[in-house]
Amino acid sequence: MNGNVYKKNELLASVVIKGLQSRNMSGYYAKDKDEALKIALSLIPENSTVTMGGCTSSDEIGLTDAVKNGEYKFIDRSQYEDKRAAMLDGYNADVFISSVNGMSDDGVLINIDGNANRVSAIANGPKKVLFIVGMNKICPDVDTAMKRARNVAAPANAQRFGLSTPCASTGKCFDCKSPDTICCQFLITRYSRHKDRIHVILVNDELGF
């Protein structure tokens, strides 16, 4: 990463963290992926029940493997024949790991979902929600963050899942009603009523989509 961009991200992260604090959420700055992993693990007590939605950012910092192989009770959806049962088990977890599809620089989180297991867990479910967020996802305002979610994250995820949506073939949102659409539920998290529930680790790197 260019040194000037790195410094800009570092300065911007302090602004975002203040925004999160004003919304009763906790923010942390990690200079790289290794530091992000250390911070994340410090927030997950051993023997905790841990689950996640599909989270490329967690994979990229090594957190997914660390939780799967560590002293945690990991709810692994891939090991369930009944995916709905896995999702329901996850709602009572101690920690839910996720990322965001977009985020405003004053601390508003934007997420889009197809089956709602991820956004519903973020909104009301596990006792703690831990977000891993690359600085590439920080936007000037909520509208821009929503546009990023719809025109950057959603097309990339549709391609990742091999879905037949207009955005998967064009890279652009068409506000479609395709049977394969993953833009079914939109969650805007602007405040946490429960202190110490939502934690956001800002990583000075490009992570996820």
Over residues 77-92, the pLDDT tens digits come to 888 888 888 888 889 9
**CB distance 94 to 127 below 8 Å:** yes
The per-residue pLDDT for 84 is 87
| Mean pLDDT, range 94-118, rounded to an integer | 96
Interval 108-144: pLDDT, tens: 999 999 989 999 999 999 999 999 999 999 999 999 9
- pLDDT above 90: residue 53: no
Share of the chain above pLDDT 70, in %: 100
Return the percentage of the chain with pLDDT > 90, whole number: 89
Instruction: Work out the end-to-end distance of the chain between its first and last CA atoms, rounded to an integer number of angstroms.
Output: 17
Report the C-alpha gap between 92 and 96 in whole angstroms: 9
Q: Read off the pLDDT of each residue in 55-64 and give the average, rounded to a whole number.
A: 97
Q: Hey, what domains does the chain have and what are their CATH numbers?
A: 3-203 (3.40.50.10420)
Q: What is the pTM of this model?
A: 0.96
Tell me how far apart the alpha carbons of residues 50 and 143 are, in angstroms, rounded to a whole number: 32
Q: Give residue 87's pLDDT.
A: 86
pLDDT at 1 > cutoff 90: no
Cite the beta strand spans of the chain per DSSP E: 26-30, 49-52, 73-74, 95-98, 102-104, 109-113, 128-134, 138-139, 185-189, 198-203
pLDDT tens readout for residues 144-177: 999 999 999 999 999 998 999 999 999 999 999 9
* Mean pLDDT over the full length of the chain: 95
For residue 57, pLDDT beyond 90 = yes
According to the model, what pLDDT value does residue 201 have?
98
160 and 152 in contact (C-beta within 8 Å)? no
pLDDT band at 100; cut points 50, 70, 90: very high
Strands 73-74 and 109-113, how do they pair?
A: unpaired
User: Contact at 8 Å (CB) between 170 and 159?
Assistant: no
Residue 123 in contact with residue 85, Cβ under 8 Å? no
Minimal CA–CA distance to 30: which of 170, 209, 208, 204? 204
Measured between alpha carbons, how far is 159 from 199 in angstroms, rounded to an integer? 29
Burial of 164 (0-12, 13-18, 19+ CB in 10 A): exposed
| Residue 110: strand pairing partners | 102, 188
Using pLDDT thresholds of 50, 70 and 90, give the confidence band for residue 25.
very high
Q: What is the pLDDT of residue 129?
A: 98
Mode of pairing for the β-strands spanning 49-52 and 26-30: unpaired
Q: How far is residue 133's CA from residue 58's CA, in Å, rounded to a whole number?
A: 9
- The pLDDT, as a whole number, for residue 194 is 96
pLDDT at 134: 98
